[in-house]
Structure 1
Amino acid sequence: MVKKAYQTYIEFENLDTYDFITLWTIGTYFFHLFNTYPYVYVGGLKQTGKTKLLTVASLLAFNAIFTNNISTASLYRLTQSGRCTLLLDESEKLAAKERAEELRNLLLTGYKKGAVVYRTEKKRSERLVPEAFEVYSPKIVCNIEGIENVLEERCIPIIMKRGKNKAIINAEPNVADPVWQQIRSRLYMLFLQFSGELSACSEFSESEEMNISARDLELWKPIFTLASFFDKYNPQLNLPEKMRKLACRVTDEKHVENVVETSEYILVETLTKLVTKDGYFPVKTIRDEMAQAYDEEQRWLTTKWVGNALRRLGFKEKRRVGRGVEYHITIKEVKDLAERLGLKNTYVSSDSLNSLNTLSSLKEALQTLTKWLIENKDSAGLVDAFALYAKIQELGLEPKQVVDVLKADGWLVDVPIVGKFGVAK
């Protein structure tokens, strides 16, 4: 019933997303059995069905509150008293300066069981007293502009695209239809009847086999547990395998975005190109080389930032030369660091660097890549960023540099969709 409701009103590009959002919605009735419960981030362009998705979720989820205009004080109290499923539409509107920090604290804390947020409350005696609020509950955050990296780590993303099925596009849920209450009642009964059995289910723990981090596994565990529970009664649905594949794809896309956007990753990528022999390297040289990875000037990218980042990455030996500082860096250290950060294929030796930078090899690679882009773009003109990066690395080239060339040549454009590039030709 839950999945059918989503299929009636929402069009997803990936059909496994229907199973995921169905499991997540059912899990809102069981969320307190888990130590963490993932947020869902719904992004995409205008008129892609984001608000309608939240409307359907509000009719199905446990104690759902659907709003785009509510005070943070009300959010804290409603979450603590009702353990409600909080659905925030156009969340950028909630981030007004005077309450941005309180909303951010609620969202950053509320995905983990037992965590509290403190607010200063005025009592009858007019005294201001700090009061703890438990804000653990399921939440969906929906907007166009995207979310900050720290909050993104607590979310499983769904990126919406404009639909093609006119019947689904034009279908609007009737919130007064009694069928919604009937579905919620059956979900309440499901909880009362099977909460003990679900609680006893062994949680999925094959993180190494799936090649996802412990942090990502923490988010996906409730979904895996729910999938395993329903697989006992409906094995033909193959839910555990579907969710494993979906989790791997989502985490791979997240990894690609982190590699592109996270400053420390870009610094390590810079070192893999710069450090072709052991020795001392000026901080200014590293900064100048790193700056080439960005299209625009980054004011935060200073020699002080680079020096602090090198220390965070474990480089301790340094010396002062004139007015500057040099750090001792070895090829072995950089290779080890790149592997630990998941950048195993990015290290380029001095010999291979000379050969790869020849005009002919780059020209041949670009011809291969442009043909690959044409063959692999989808009907919306989008290509998977992770697959593109893998293809570039397969050709022995550095992904960020090649992507910049493809953008400059008008082949690629950035789009507001995680893990995707637009193919402009």
Structure 2
Amino acid sequence: MSSKETIAAYFPGLIDLAKDKDERIVFLFKNEQGLQAAQRVGLEGELLVPPAIEHLPFLLPQAEEVIGFSGQEDTKLFDDVLAYLARFFYLPSNELEIFAAALLATYLQDHPEVFYLPVVLLFGPPERGKTRAGKAFTYASFRGIHVVDLREANLIRFTQNLRATLFLDFQSFWKKALQEGSSDILLLRYEKGAKVARVLFPDRGPFNDTRYFEVYGPTVVASNDPVHEILDTRCVPFSMPNRPHNYEVPAPEKAQDLRNRLTAWRSRMMDRVLPEVELLPGRFGDITKILLQVGSLFGRDFTPILREIGQEKKSSGLTETIEGVIIQGIVELLPQVKNGTLRVDDLLRKVNALRGGRYPLTGQFIGKKLRAMGFKKRFVKGRSEIFIETSILNPYLRDFGLGEVSLHSNGTFYLKPFSKPFDNTTNLKKEVESVESVDSYKGVGVGMREGEGEGGGEGIPLKHSTHSTLSTFCPESIEIIDDSEGRELAGKGVESESQEHRPNDNDEVQAQEPEGKSGVGEDQAVQGRAGTEGQSQQPDNGRGPGRRQSRVITIEEQAQVLQPGTGKVRRYGIPIISFRRR
């Protein structure tokens, strides 16, 4: 191996590592020619080669299959992911959809518009299928690894070198994390750009002794015991029900077809703008945004079920945290509030009673907690009182899903609970009636109405963006390097049916405007095969090798999730077509 070669498993623009038909490891990446496969690539003056297979502890997609899938929209992908998961374990259909969305989100972890990923938490008594569910998820996810220890060195290497999805399966998960000194890594994995510090060279003095490591990445946790309350705020929990059945045993090879299709989906999505969605409140809204976006891409609205999960998390926090018990105590003592104040010793007795009398709290501790929570305090005749202000109390009540407090004209407070009807709707046209049959998940395409065939129904418009996400993901400097033995794996992109040259940055054509419509739509990055109609050329501006014949992207060949409109078709790395919102 040349001394100038650098082993790499990730670089900007890389879709994934894959195996070619000769079982050699190749890079799958996107450049101005589209999806390419090569054993060696040059990037910013470096010659990059993939790691050996023994250093890749996850299932690799098949290069030829991925390239074959990349040129077409896979409208049944989400339904087939649901069917795959249902073979190995049971979850209610609405929760299974969220679980499937989290799996697809692992393929978008480095998308320019994704900043948070939820930690998938599988919990429940032993023998409920947590490990089966975790393995099924891991084998089909982006570079999934089943981790059997929590040593910080391994977690950091899996993240920095491989960008892996980690499945952490332990009986006393948090206790082991504290023992191994990896709790900070686990707490920060949900946030892009998060780093942890480690002192590696104490003899080098200040600053030079410390290294910082990225720890962001998709995470699945299975545990019999409750996780730490701080980690719980980063989690989307799944309680595994007791549904005995003769399920299949998860295995990597059973996920091979999905790995190929999901990798092709990643290649199409990484330079597209993600849909706009309405966020849920708080940190839970941050971590579930990507789940709502994945659902929107496949014509599903996960807002009702995610809102219900969020409310359940808040309700559990009411009794599992000191702050929650304090708020509960204040609510129960509202009738005793006089002149807008409540005696702290009355609140202390109520809090200790709500806690069941175990480990009684002291007045000093409660006083410090109340001050930290923002409640103002005063002393009257040697007794401590707190002011009950709706501006301080109501945000806590909303966080815990209790409602809001209002002040009567007579000076008394009353609680108005939230009405929380849960519309457990889903866009699955056919739910699993029993765990024996999973075929009913199949056959529903994107935006399809019941009874329509593939490709029916209306699309969902993507979010408008004035910037090109393509330029932030796919650098233009990636090039295929000839192997020293003359073995170059030529990039096999999506070829046009007419075999015309691909247009360059300087080529521009006017898209056909649908009859009766006018106006300029919003630019969206899309994939597809090329037609050859409506061609024209613009003068060379010096940025490309010269004028080449351009091509129109036909509407029929675009994603079902896009709503066609009018505007210009341009070439910038991959074809771009204008779309109008519905």
Asked whether the two chains share a fold, i.e. TM above 0.5, the reply is yes
Paired residue for 2:164?
84
2:282 counterpart of 1:214 = yes
Equivalences for 1:261-280 in 2 at 5 Å? 261-274=320-333, 275-278=336-339
Give me the whole-angstrom Cα distance separating, in 2, the residues matched to 1:76 and 1:91: 22
Paired residue for 2:347?
286
For 1:79-127, what per-residue CA distance to the aligned partner results, in whole angstroms no more than 9, with x for missing partners?
1111100100016257448744x32101111111111011122499899
How much does 1:319 deviate? 1.9
Paired residue for 1:191?
266
Amino acid at match of 1:20: I
2:274 to 201, 211, 224: 201
Paired residue for 2:471?
none
How much does 1:345 deviate? 6.5
For 1:47-70, what per-residue CA distance to the aligned partner results, in whole angstroms no more than 9, with x for missing partners?
111111111122111111102225
2:93 counterpart of 1:32 = no
How much does 1:156 deviate? 0.3
Q: 1:94 to 1:317 in 2, by over 3 A?
A: closer
Secondary structure, aligned partner of 2:270: helix
Secondary structure, aligned partner of 1:132: strand
How much does 1:196 deviate? 1.6
2:373 counterpart of 1:313 = yes
Q: 1:99 to 1:319 in 2, by over 3 A?
A: same
Paired residue for 2:184?
105
Amino acid at match of 1:254: K
2:375 counterpart of 1:344 = no
Amino acid at match of 1:172: V
Whether the 8 Å contact between 1:277 and 1:331 is mirrored in structure 2 is no
For 1:287-333, what per-residue CA distance to the aligned partner results, in whole angstroms no more than 9, with x for missing partners?
1222111223224x1111111122223333412645xx412535767
Secondary structure, aligned partner of 2:236: strand
For 1:249-304, what per-residue CA distance to the aligned partner results, in whole angstroms no more than 9, with x for missing partners?
101111211122222232233223333322665433321222111223224x1111
1:173 to 250, 253, 275: 250
2:357 counterpart of 1:296 = yes
Segments of 5+ residues of structure 1 without an aligned counterpart are 232-238, 354-425
For 1:162-184, what per-residue CA distance to the aligned partner results, in whole angstroms no more than 9, with x for missing partners?
214x232xx21344x3x433321
For 1:368-402, what per-residue CA distance to the aligned partner results, in whole angstroms no more than 9, with x for missing partners?
xxxxxxxxxxxxxxxxxxxxxxxxxxxxxxxxxxx
Give me the whole-angstrom Cα distance separating, in 2, the residues matched to 1:280 and 1:148: 34
Equivalences for 1:84-163 in 2 at 5 Å? 84-90=164-170, 92=172, 95-96=175-176, 99-100=179-180, 102-122=181-201, 129-163=209-243
Secondary structure, aligned partner of 1:221: helix
For 1:220-262, what per-residue CA distance to the aligned partner results, in whole angstroms no more than 9, with x for missing partners?
110111111122xxxxxxx22xx11210110111121112222
Paired residue for 1:254?
313
Give me the whole-angstrom Cα distance separating, in 2, the residues matched to 1:348 and 1:194: 51
Whether the 8 Å contact between 1:46 and 1:144 is mirrored in structure 2 is yes
Amino acid at match of 2:144: A
How much does 1:337 deviate? 6.2
2:385 counterpart of 1:327 = yes
Give me the whole-angstrom Cα distance separating, in 2, the residues matched to 1:120 and 1:9: 43
Give me the whole-angstrom Cα distance separating, in 1, the residues matched to 2:332 and 2:322: 16
RCO comparison, higher one (Cα < 8 Å, 6+): 2
How much does 1:186 deviate? 2.1
Q: 1:308 to 1:90 in 2, by over 3 A?
A: same
How much does 1:130 deviate? 1.3
Secondary structure, aligned partner of 1:219: helix
Number of residue-to-residue matches in the alignment = 325
Q: 1:86 to 1:330 in 2, by over 3 A?
A: closer
Whether the 8 Å contact between 1:281 and 1:328 is mirrored in structure 2 is yes
Secondary structure, aligned partner of 1:32: coil
How much does 1:129 deviate? 2.3
1:3 to 82, 88, 101: 82
Paired residue for 1:403?
none
Amino acid at match of 1:309: K
Larger helix percent:
1
Give me the whole-angstrom Cα distance separating, in 2, the residues matched to 1:112 and 1:73: 19
Give me the whole-angstrom Cα distance separating, in 2, the residues matched to 1:159 and 1:328: 39
Give me the whole-angstrom Cα distance separating, in 1, the residues matched to 2:136 and 2:237: 17
Give me the whole-angstrom Cα distance separating, in 2, the residues matched to 1:258 and 1:94: 18
Whether the 8 Å contact between 2:117 and 2:217 is mirrored in structure 1 is yes
Q: 1:43 to 1:329 in 2, by over 3 A?
A: same
Q: 1:71 to 1:334 in 2, by over 3 A?
A: closer
Amino acid at match of 1:256: S
Give me the whole-angstrom Cα distance separating, in 1, the residues matched to 2:130 and 2:407: 43
Whether the 8 Å contact between 1:109 and 1:135 is mirrored in structure 2 is yes
Q: 1:117 to 1:270 in 2, by over 3 A?
A: same
Secondary structure, aligned partner of 1:196: coil
Amino acid at match of 2:353: Q
Whether the 8 Å contact between 1:108 and 1:151 is mirrored in structure 2 is yes
Paired residue for 2:44?
none
Secondary structure, aligned partner of 1:163: coil
TM-score normalized by the length of structure 1: 0.69
Amino acid at match of 1:120: V
Equivalences for 1:17-96 in 2 at 5 Å? 17-33=95-111, 34-90=114-170, 92=172, 95-96=175-176
Q: 1:61 to 1:328 in 2, by over 3 A?
A: closer
Amino acid at match of 1:304: Q
Q: Which has the larger radius of gyration?
A: 2
Secondary structure, aligned partner of 1:86: strand
